[in-house]
Amino acid sequence: MKLNYLIIRLLLSTVLITGIIFASNAQPGDPSGDPDVPITGIEILLAIGGGLGVRKIFAMRKRHE
């Protein structure tokens, strides 16, 4: 009885490990064409921060003249 349990356990763990290895090595195919990437929130925040920085520089120049 213990031998059957050991064989079943060994076989099951071998199948699971093999399945995990094959699933982790699967790679998607090469996408065709250039996928469009939308502007995300971080780019918008960077643009707003740059605009505020330029505005401050102009305000400081105007104040010193």
- SS (HEC) of the chain: CHHHHHHHHHHHHHHHHHHHHHHHCCCCCCCCCCCCCCCCHHHHHHHHHHHHHHHHHHHHHHHHC
Rounded to whole angstroms, the Cα distance separating 11 from 3 reads: 12
Is pLDDT of 63 > 90?
no
Instruction: Give the pLDDT confidence of 21-48 residue by residue, as tens digits.
Output: 887 776 666 666 666 767 778 888 999 9
Average pLDDT, the chain: 83
